[in-house]
Structure 1
Amino acid sequence: MINIWAIGMVIALIVTTIIVSIMGKRATANTADFYLAGRKVGFFTNASAICGDYFSAASFLGVAAAVYASGLDGAWFAAGFGAAFVPVVLFMASPIRRFGEYTIPDFLFARYGQSHRARIIGVVMVQLISIFYLAPQMVGAGTTWNVLVGQGLFGLSPYATGVWVVVLIMTLYVALGGMKGTTWNQLIQFWVLFTAMILVVIMGIVNGVGYSDSVAKNSEKPLLNPGKVTVAKLMEGEPGKRLYDVNQKNMTPEAFAKVQAVVDKGDPTAEVNILVPQKNKLHPERAMMFNEPGHRYSALDQFSMVLALVLGTAGLPHVMNRYYTNPSGKSARFTTVWVLGFVALFYMMSQYVGAIARQIIPPEVAKDPELMKLTVDGLLLKADQVMPVMGKIFAGEFGLGYVAAGAFAAMFSTIGGLLMASAASWGHDIYENYVNPHAEEWKRVLVGKIAVVGMATLSLLVGLGIPAAGLDKAYPALIAMMVTWAFSVSASAFVPTLLASIWWKKTTEKGALAGMFSGGFGAIFFIVMNILKETKAVAPDSFFATLGTLTFPVLITVPLSFAVIFIVSITDKKLPANVEQIWMRIHGTAAERRERRMQQMVLQPEQK
């Protein structure tokens, strides 16, 4: 059944987005305006826009879903995302802005004595991270459309329709409005999704549902999640320990009757939706409980995931590029302080929603046939639908509509930032510097817009290909998982190199490049191995499956990148000729930089 409230709110959001983009079109006459909004974005506006960039589908849909599906293991997402801007404010924001370039590849080019190799490898990493981060946004688009509308257009499935709609809208608004239009759109979209989350939380509190009580009740029996198995698998094993017996014990009589009806037909290949006891990866001999770690992650993965989230933000190109839009380093610091406040509040609310959903949803299912289609004995088949379902339960069709608008706002905002980062990388870093350095401004802006269209097309193909690869079946909280992969690549490829480039003067070009290459591609390798293992594309006891045991590879790839940077740099020792001037740009105050320029002006005539 189509939700009129939801459709109306999403259409209103889309119309607002297009109007803002058209208004922002006037501020795209040159590349500084198109890519950086003229470097005139204030700290509160930029903080809201950064949060719009950052609070993606993984944040709005995925964190609550991860808590709902995995309990404490899901809560690590909230902790990691929430702490992620601390390294940014302490080590990155001010030096990056003070240096004053357009993009991360630009920074690497200038930091290493105008190194073209550094810029090109930086561009490659930006594109890879962008693709990894765009993928879960596409999954969020398809998932939200499926809940919101439930039917496809022009012969497409509901999932594919959602992906197409979001990609087309985002391509239009980013290409039209540039960074100025994108900034204002991200501000609006952030406050839509933020207030949607607040709405659900307030309604939960008003209904007297507490976080601690929900966690306690969720932990009264072993963790169960919906799954689909064949009748043969259901009846496999000793009586009393079979999935059949477990479900007869744990499901309500009404829900188990549906399972029994399929079994009675006598077809062992028939599939049935059941509740599957979850395995405890930390203590295999014990039942998995909601309030204990071990559902999704082994001992190493527990640390590795949080490390990926905390470090990964500092290397996300669409987030770090926003600091170049601030007018000064001081403004960049104030921006991050506001971001920290928004982030902390948002992720506390996400964790609350995920925990209470297991108590709220089951008794409501019997009242709503539409909800019944999404659940097995009151538990959602797809955890990523937690937020829209909670909105509907608490505030009816209006609640579902507002939460759906928030979900689309989260996707629009993040995809907009990613497309801008990708466009800046292709248009500014490659076209303006290597293909046509003397191009007129209109040509440079046009290439940026073409880059937006190209990256949007690639993200469309990735989004449509994810279900075909079976990833949605292999990972119960797929959106949050995929974003963490993007963070892992970002943390491994850029963060060690950026930290070394900013804080260790002896870092050489070769060291930085070797660190980026080993960290970035090392992370991608381990992620691919994990996908092959979880989708059973390789034998469980094979060497490749062993390599895929580590879900998030940063415990290996981040130290590896730091070690490679250090070893190669001390071996190479070839620093840029103007390293002192570079260091002054990174760390000097405005007064010190002015004094340095005056000294150079005085010395130059004497040298002549």
Structure 2
Amino acid sequence: MSNPSAFARRLRRYYAWYTGTFLLFVIGLAIGEYYGLSSHLIGHIFLFVTIAIYAGIGVMSRTSDVSEYYVAGRRVPAMFNGMATAADWMSAASFIGLAGTLYFSGFEGLAFVTGWTGGFVLVALLLAPYLRKFGQYTIPDFLGARYEGNVARLVGLGATILASFVYLVAQIYGVGLVTSRFVSIEFEIGLFVGLAGILVCSFLGGMRAVTWTQVAQYVILIIAYLVPVVILSYKLTGIPIPQAVYGTVLQQISEREQDLFEAPSEIEVRSLYRLRAEGYAAKIDALPGSLEVERRALIERLNALRLGNASARDIALTERTLRDLPRTADEARVQWEKARIDALERARPPPRHAQAHPGATPEESAVARNNFLALMFVLMVGTAALPHILMRYYTTPGVTDARKSVLWSLFFIFLLYVTAPAYAVFAKWEVYHNVVGSSLSILPEWVASWGKVGLVRIEDLNADGILQLAELRLNTDVIVLATPEIAGLPYVVSGLVAAGGLAAALSTADGLLLTISNALSHDLYYKVINPAATTHRRLVISKSQLLVVAVVAAWVASLRPDNILFMVGLAFSIGASAFFPALVLGIFWKRANRPGAVAGMLLGLAVTLYYVVRTHSFFGGSMSNAWFDINPISAGVFGVPLGFLTIVLVSLATRPPPQEIQDLVDYVRYPQLPPDHDRSPRS
């Protein structure tokens, strides 16, 4: 682009018109709802109009130029790259899951806010400007050049695919969640509706299309996030600045917690859950005999119901219970142990929202503090190492723009993260004051509607017809999506939030999908398998891989894996342990060599994955196997130091890298070096 400033001005004008048009669109739907437009139709309009916008941008941004496809022509202005990075960054985990985590964890959830924002400081100081000066297209590109060839490149390629795929599955799961609730279609169908939107955005134009789509998606997601919480703030405090006034509502919640947690009915329900946990423990100890006793009891009950002309509902419920009963003693042990742990969790009062590092004993408080610090560390380091984020800084015109881009990214992310605590507090106030303690016969409509998609569960354990706090189960992901309904806001606000959640999930999915497909086509096919491949063939390979990865990720997401926030946290641990030590030492320590980097990446990643499998129930592990009681989401806290130590020791024990590699480090590190240093090796 011959005149970058004119290009930036034109972009600002285009997106200003786009933002104004979108606001008018929302206002028009609100007027339509006032005059009788159905909520069902509003949900469909929000979904299909926003996907059509993204698809239109994707089609208009189509390209067959390699530089445009991989790095958007390296001409994205800093502010717009900051917006695109923020959209790429604020995934379904941030938009849908963060406020929910703060709702349930209170102070402890701030580890996500401080970790994720602090990570961009590391990006600005340690990585972004140096990777931009290096140039090229991908993170494995840097590893291949810095560590002399394809071994380090292939290890980086494997880690890129693993971290990005786990993250991608979480985003596509979020797409299915939003579409299934707000358009009333099957979860699996919703996945593939969203997948179509993802593919149109990234398939035709690569990074160029993804960048301009993500800017548009950021506009929608930040408006969608701020509108409900601003309305709630005004409703509860009379001041429409939630970030400044939610502290007064938090004080009211603390007073409500005092009354609620000590209520006799709450204590009774938690005691019943404790008894349930003890019952599961007894059945586990009595296996395999207890399984057979359970089966015979259900068969006898079913026969009695049929002979006694019981209701069809009771018969069907008993039949389902019998059908779901474990078939073997090993299955029963796993299933009943999960149920026992769940019952124990319900038996404990939730942490008080404003309490730091809660625990019944000093030892438990110390464990909570250590997990807070470990999670914050992993999220900071993972932020500075995720390939789909670092790739964005290849798209700026120069090193200075890369630094400015990180600053703009922080600003745009700050707008959401500073609001998330207010979201959690206002939602908790509504639940504690208007839902808990209500009769089960007059519960709000949102409880039933979100129950249909499995995100809200109610169990009247003490059979008193009143909903106790312990009897209400809210999925982490429901807080943001359901808050407009919880607060009784017009349905158009719910549709807006759904559009924002969809934008957040689609924007990150676009970036992740492109990262994986580019790594496969560029780093595997072009750099390793067929270096003589033509530009056309490279793009064909990239697009075909993009399709394959998208379909596989959608299939995995259709299995409904663990909650979004854990999956994203796992991706951060993988990225942190595999990339951060090798990237930082590769930039700042000339002595780091290929054997050290390969050993460090492999060992750090292996320890992280081993710890997750060892401790997380999804993989059959248990927290009884945990080291220092660290939760599996923070597994990278072990892999990162081990990676650094391994790279240093192995590098010192083996030959130093050749002079041309050390010259490459000088070129990347020092801006005053002349341009002819750009001829340093790149592969």
| SS in structure 2 at match of 1:208 | helix
The alpha-carbon distance between structure 1 residues 597 and 39, as it changes in their structure 2 partners (threshold 3 A), is closer
Give the residue type in structure 1 aligned to 2:481: P
* Rounded Cα–Cα distance in structure 2 between residues aligned with 1:45 and 1:144: 27
SS at 1:29 equivalent: coil
Structure 1 residues 597 and 396, CA, compared in 2 at 3 Å: closer, same or farther?
closer
Other-structure match for 2:391? 321
**Equivalent in 297, 306, 316 of residue 376 of structure 2:** 306
Partners of 2:261 and 2:639 in 1: how far apart? 32
What does residue 446 of structure 2 align with?
A: 370
Query: For residue 478 of structure 2, what is the aligned residue in structure 1?
Result: 385
Taking the TM superposition and a 5 Å limit, the aligned residue runs for 1:477-492 are: 478-492=563-577
Residue in structure 2 matching 1:359, options 429, 446, 455: 429
Listed as ranges, the matches of 1:282-431 within 5 Å are 288-292=351-355, 293-294=357-358, 298-361=368-431, 368-374=444-450, 375=456, 376=458, 377=467, 381-392=474-485, 393=487, 395-431=489-525
The amino acid of 1:428's aligned partner reads: H
DSSP-derived class of the 2:674 partner: helix
Tell me, in whole angstroms, the C-alpha distance in 2 between the residues paired with 1:361 and 1:544. Answer: 34
Compared with structure 1, are the counterparts of its residues 413 and 595 closer, same or farther at alpha carbon in structure 2 (3 Å cutoff)?
A: closer
- Higher mean C-alpha displacement, 453-462 vs 546-555: 546-555
> How is 1:110-125 mapped onto 2 (pairs within 5 angstroms)?
110-113=145-148, 115-125=149-159
RMSD, matched Cα = 3.4
Counterpart CA distance in 2 for 1:165 and 1:438 is 37
Q: Distance in 2 between matches of 1:119 and 1:89?
A: 24
State the SS of the aligned residue for 1:494. Answer: helix
C-alpha displacement of 1:538 = 4.9
Alignment partner, residue 196 of structure 1: 224
1:471-508 deviation line (CA, Å, top 9, x unaligned): 3xxxxxx2222211111111111011101001111111
Post-superposition CA distance 1:416-462 (Å, at most 9, x none)? 00011111101111111222222221111111101111111221122
| One of 41, 62, 67 as aligned partner of 2:102 | 67
Q: 1:69-218 residue pairs with structure 2 within 5 A?
A: 69-113=104-148, 115-152=149-186, 159-209=187-237, 210-218=245-253
Q: For residues 69 and 39 of structure 1, do their structure 2 counterparts lie closer, same or farther at Cα, with a shift above 3 Å needed? A: same
> AA paired with 1:331?
D
Contact persistence 2:273–2:343 (CA under 8 A): no
Give the residue type in structure 1 aligned to 2:555.
L
> Where does 1:500-511 land on structure 2 (aligned, <5 Å)?
500-511=585-596
Deviations 1:308-334 (A, max 9, x none): 111101111111001111110100000
1:583 matched to which residue of 2? 665
Aligned-partner Cα distance in 2 for 1:201–1:329: 37
Do 1:39 and 1:326's aligned partners in 2 also have CA atoms closer than 8 Å?
A: yes
Following the alignment from structure 1 to structure 2, what is the Cα–Cα distance between the partners of residues 149 and 73?
Answer: 34
Show the counterpart of 2:607.
522
Higher-Rg member (1/2): 2
Distance 1:595 1:459, change over 3 A: closer
User: In structure 2, the residue corresponding to 1:71 is in which secondary structure?
Assistant: helix
Q: CA, structure 1 residues 547+302, in 2 after alignment: closer, same or farther (shift >3 Å)?
A: closer
Code of the residue aligned with 2:635 in structure 1: it is P
Pairs aligned (count): 544
Give the conservation status (yes or no) of the 8 Å contact 1:361–1:390: no
Does the aligned pair in 2 maintain the 1:539–1:545 contact within 8 Å? no
The one-letter code matched in structure 2 to 1:24 is S
Decide whether the 8 Å contact of 2:104 with 2:350 is kept in 1: no
- Aligned match of 1:449: 543
| Identity of matched residues, % | 27
Distance verdict in 2 for CA 1:333–1:544, change over 3 Å: closer
Shift of 1:233: 5.6
Letter in 2 for 1:381: L
Q: Does 1:569 align with 2:651?
A: yes
Contact 1:323/1:332, CA 8 A, preserved across alignment: yes
8 Å Cα contact 1:529-1:545 kept in structure 2: no
2:656 matched to 1:593? no
User: Whole-Å Cα distance in 2 between the matches of residues 237 and 141 of structure 1?
Assistant: 35
One of 528, 540, 559 as aligned partner of 1:465: 559
The CA deviation string for residues 544-596 of structure 1, in whole angstroms up to 9 with x for no partner, is: 8999855412221111111001100111133133034202321122x522375
Asked if 1 retains the 8 angstrom alpha-carbon contact of 2:664 and 2:677, the reply is: no
237 and 311 in structure 1: CA distance in 2 versus 1, 3 angstrom threshold: closer
- CA gap of 1:129–1:363, structure 2 versus 1, over 3 A, is same
Instruction: Say whether 1:17 aligns with 2:51.
Output: no
| Cα drift, residue 521 of structure 1 | 2.2
Q: Is 1:560 aligned to 2:639, yes or no?
A: no
> 1 CA distance for matches of 2:656 and 2:261?
56
Q: Deviations over 1:133-186 (max 9, x none)?
A: 11221331232223313442xxxxxx3222222223212321122111110100
User: Does the 8 Å CA contact 2:613/2:621 hold for their aligned counterparts?
Assistant: no
Taking structure 1 as reference, are residues 364 and 108 closer, same or farther at Cα in structure 2, changes over 3 Å only?
same
Which residue of the partner structure matches residue 35 of structure 1?
70
Deviation track 1:250-272 (CA, whole Å, cap 9, x = no partner) reads xxxxxxxxxxx99xx999x7999
Query: Quick check: 1:528–1:548 contact (8 Å CA) kept in 2?
Result: no
Displacement, 1:55? 0.3
CA shift, 1:373, in A, is: 4.5
Question: Which residue matches 2:297?
Answer: none
Q: Scaled by the length of structure 2, what TM-score is found? A: 0.73
The 1:483/1:266 distance shift into structure 2, 3 A limit, reads closer
Question: Which is further off, 63-72 or 205-214?
Answer: 205-214
Partner of 2:300: none
SS of residue matched to 1:8: helix
* Contact 1:300–1:550 (CA under 8 A) maintained in structure 2: no
Q: Tell me, in whole angstroms, the C-alpha distance in 2 between the residues paired with 1:138 and 1:89.
A: 29
In 2, are the aligned partners of 1:42 and 1:331 still within 8 Å (CA)? yes
State the alpha-carbon separation in 1 of the partners of residues 192 and 678 from structure 2.
52
Could you tell me whether the CA contact under 8 Å between 2:105 and 2:351 is conserved in 1? no
Distance in 1 of aligned mates of 2:193 and 2:603: 37
Show CA shifts across 1:60-87 (max 9, x none).
0110010112222222212222222010
Indicate conservation of the 8 Å contact 1:21/1:174, yes or no. yes
Q: How has the CA–CA distance of structure 1 residues 491 and 294 changed in structure 2, closer, same or farther, with 3 Å as cutoff?
A: farther
In the alignment, the residues of structure 2 paired with residue 308 and residue 545 of structure 1 have an alpha-carbon distance, to the nearest angstrom, of 16
* 1:92-139 residue CA offsets vs partner (Å, 9 max, x unmatched): 1111101112111000111123x1111111110100111121122133
**Is 1:440 aligned with 2:534?**
yes
Moved more, 359-368 or 401-410: 359-368
